Amino acid sequence: MPKPPIGRLAPSPTGVIHLGNIRSFLLAWLDIRSRNGTLLLRVEDLDSPRVKKGSAAQLIADLEWLGLDYDSEIVFQSQRSTLYEEALQKLIGQGNVYPCACSRREIELAASAPHAEDGSTVYPLTCYQRFSSYGEASECAGRPACWRFHFEQSNIRFTDGFCGDKDFETKSLSDFIVSKNNGEAAYQLAVVVDDAAQGVTEVLRGDDLLDSAARQIAIYQALGVDVPTFKHVPLVAGEDGKRLAKRHGDTSLNHFKQHNVSPQKIIGWLAYASGLTRDLHECLPQQLLGDFDLKKLDAKPLVWRGDFTT
């Protein structure tokens, strides 16, 4: 018998949750709960300027309203800096990271090509093997330097549980920041340290993080810890095929609540429009468990046409 999986919901409390997040959370919840696994909730509240006060409490209440429950205590990344620091020290000791003095603007100017739709750029390796110490890099920057992870391998290959075989050239992923110049762990490091520490065996999330999985695998390998199974699912898009955004109308949970839309309506529509149910009917996540099979999920983005009827 395979061991029951351990999964997680890892929202960032950067504002209100919307249809796109709800669908990814619903799928992560169903995928774990349908196999009697354990589902953890981790609030990714590290990105200080983007983290909004009160958002974490709102998020927790919203998940409950939707019927998406979780097991054990909630973990907050803002309380786990010691763990991230230990991992960083290990990477420094092994020579997997180097101090970087570049500003965002310098990197953008020197970058050869934009990397992905999210506007991130390929790091031109300006600071690779440039400084003999962190202090020297900080002096050059005129402020604390950040730490960048250096890929040793040319490719990262893995099999995604939804998208299939993937092969990323590390040249295009480019050396990336694991510790910011304010000393806070960057997303890529924190997520790996936490998933490893919490014993997460499966990660299901939106496919905008598919290339992040490749970066994270390199960190797992450097830290010598087991890599979880990744499943990256399509996002929700507007009728123009683009990722759901403000121009497609307000799809925040708050907006739907204000218009008396029930959780059953939202969940029922998401399940139907995602290909999980044969007909459109209102339901709660619990009622989808019996028939759930991730293979039924449409491989194309789910299109939001402005209401819960189509």
Q: Which residues bind ligand GLU (CB under 6 A)?
A: 10-12, 44, 191, 205, 209
Supply 15's token pair.
């504002």
How far apart are CB 44 and ligand GLU at their closest, in Å? 4
Distance from the first to the final alpha carbon of the chain: 40
In the complex with ligand GLU, the residue whose CB is nearer, 31 or 44, is 44
How far apart are CB 110 and ligand GLU at their closest, in Å? 27
How far apart are CB 204 and ligand GLU at their closest, in Å? 8
Neighbours of 93 (CB within 10 A): 9
Q: Which amino acid appears at position 85 of this protein?
A: E
The CA distance from 261 to 267, in Å, is 11
- Whether 100 and 145 have beta carbons less than 8 Å apart is answered as yes
The CA distance from 71 to 39, in Å, is 6
In the complex with ligand GLU, the residue whose CB is nearer, 10 or 271, is 10
In the complex with ligand GLU, the residue whose CB is nearer, 12 or 251, is 12
CA-based nearest residue to 21, from 83, 86, 85, 68 = 68
In the complex with ligand GLU, the residue whose CB is nearer, 232 or 308, is 232
How far apart are CB 145 and ligand GLU at their closest, in Å? 25
How far apart are CB 220 and ligand GLU at their closest, in Å? 13
In the complex with ligand GLU, the residue whose CB is nearer, 10 or 88, is 10
In the complex with ligand GLU, the residue whose CB is nearer, 15 or 144, is 15
Neighbours of 253 (CB within 10 A): 23
Residue pointed to by tokens 């620091």: 85
With vertex at residue 222, the alpha carbon angle to CA 221 and CA 224, rounded to the nearest 5 degrees, is 60
Q: What are φ and ψ of residue 252, in 5° steps? A: -75, 150
How far apart are CB 214 and ligand GLU at their closest, in Å? 13
